[in-house]
Amino acid sequence: MRLLVLDAALSRCLAALVEGGAVRAERVREGLHGQPAALPPLAEAVLAEAPPPEAVAVGVGPGSFTGLRTAIALAAGIAAARGLPLVGVSTGEALAAFCPHPAWACTENRRGQLFLERFAPGPLAEGPPLSVEERGLPRPVVLTWMLGDGAPRAAARLLARGAPAALGEARRIEAAALAAVAERRLAGLLPPRPAAPLYVDPAATT
């Protein structure tokens, strides 16, 4: 399946065309700000150089309020205009997509706390995402890999407490990982997730 993938949940805008696990076209812009202006041209460039998509997948958070709204609105517009299925993928689902171990997605919430999504293993979350203080991180029961842009400080905190934690490699959302989760969801192998912002804290305009 050919998937148009859009994401602006963390510290960059991403638009890509992924087919059979391979990225056929991709455009990226780094930075937390400017997503409303940056993402549409990225998507336009990808659509212009790759075969037409068969579905649209979009990151729904947790993450940047502005980034989520921008990516979801753009994805919904493209899907509606082309009559394509639209599917949401959480930040943690994308980060944990290829991790073969129990994993926690720990991402910065721009208020000094962490968004926490727990997986054991694979992209099926153990529960809804949480917002936690670094010092309030729960203790993993088994050896668990920390993923995401907040993973280094989460792992350091847990290891200092003697908890069974390890620092994983995934720091940011990659197109192939987001597409892999979306394909499983479209095939009915994961519970449905609408293309709607996954807010944990009250909205903040970052």
Residue pLDDT, tens place only, 82-105: 999 999 999 999 999 999 999 999
Q: How far apart are CA 111 and CA 185, in angstroms?
A: 31
For the chain, percent of residues with pLDDT exceeding 70: 98
Q: How far apart are CA 61 and CA 88, in angstroms?
A: 9
Residue 24 confidence (pLDDT): 97
- Per-residue pLDDT, averaged over 118-130, amounts to 89
Out of 3.20.20.70, 3.90.1150.10, 3.40.190.80, 3.30.420.40, the CATH code matching 2-91+173-186 is 3.30.420.40
If you write DSSP's letter for every residue of 109-151 in order, what string do you get?
-SSS-EEEEEESSSS-BSS--EEE-GGGPPPPSS-EEEESTTH
Q: In the predicted model, what is the mean pLDDT of the chain?
A: 94
What's the predicted TM-score (pTM) here? 0.94
- Per-residue pLDDT, averaged over 126-149, amounts to 95
Nearest 10 degrees: Cα torsion 162, 163, 164, 170: -110
For 156, other C-beta atoms within 10 Å of its C-beta total 14
Whether pLDDT at 206 is above 50:
no
User: pLDDT tens, 11-22?
Assistant: 899 999 999 999
Residue 122 confidence (pLDDT): 78
Q: How far apart are CA 128 and CA 17, in angstroms?
A: 28
Q: Which amino acid, one-letter code, is at 17? A: L
The ranges assigned to domains in the chain are: 2-91+173-186, 98-167
Residue 205 confidence (pLDDT): 44
Residues in CB range of 73: below 8 A, 6 or more apart: none
For the chain, percent of residues with pLDDT exceeding 90: 86
- Per-residue pLDDT, averaged over 164-191, amounts to 96
